[in-house]
């Protein structure tokens, strides 16, 4: 889509800026989510859960704003990550199978 925005004669600089800003915000939000999801057992506290919850809400809003599709991986992060991290008190050091 970005290629279309850059090459379209109908796109304005404002449109390109808006599109890039949304994607930049998505990347920053994903970074926040990743840092909270990777916390080891026993490390997360209530503030971490609150930050993660707000970041997930923000990602959902930004994802819709960007017109991106909700893949199973995005769904699992948006819907299940917070619950799993609270239940396990951190999942960053769980053994991989």
Residue 16 or residue 96, greater confidence: 16
List the domain range (segments joined by +) for residue 74: 15-88
Any domain includes 10: no
CA–CA–CA angle 74, 93, 34 (5° rounding) = 35
Any domain includes 70: yes
Domain count of the fold of the chain = 1
Span 24-51, average pLDDT? 96
Residue 75 burial (C-beta neighbours within 10 Å; 0-12, 13-18, 19+):
exposed
As given in the structure block, the two tokens for residue 1 are 């889509």
CA–CA–CA angle 70, 53, 39 (5° rounding) = 100
Span 2-18, average pLDDT? 68
In the numeric block, the tokens 């993660």 are attached to: 52
For 60-75, the pLDDT digits (tens) are 999 999 999 999 999 9
The reported pLDDT for the residue numbered 93 is 84
- Quote the pTM value: 0.81
In the numeric block, the tokens 């926040």 are attached to: 32
The reported pLDDT for the residue numbered 74 is 95
């Amino acid at each position: 889509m970005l290629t279309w925005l850059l090459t379209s004669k109908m796109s304005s600089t404002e449109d390109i800026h808006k599109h890039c800003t949304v994607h930049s915000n998505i990347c920053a939000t994903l970074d926040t989510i990743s840092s909270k999801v990777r916390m080891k057992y026993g490390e997360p506290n209530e503030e971490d859960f609150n930050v993660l919850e707000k970041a997930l809400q923000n990602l959902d809003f930004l994802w819709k704003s960007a017109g991106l599709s909700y893949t199973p991986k995005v769904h699992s992060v948006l819907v299940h990550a917070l619950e799993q991290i609270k239940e396990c008190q951190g999942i960053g050091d769980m053994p991989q199978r």
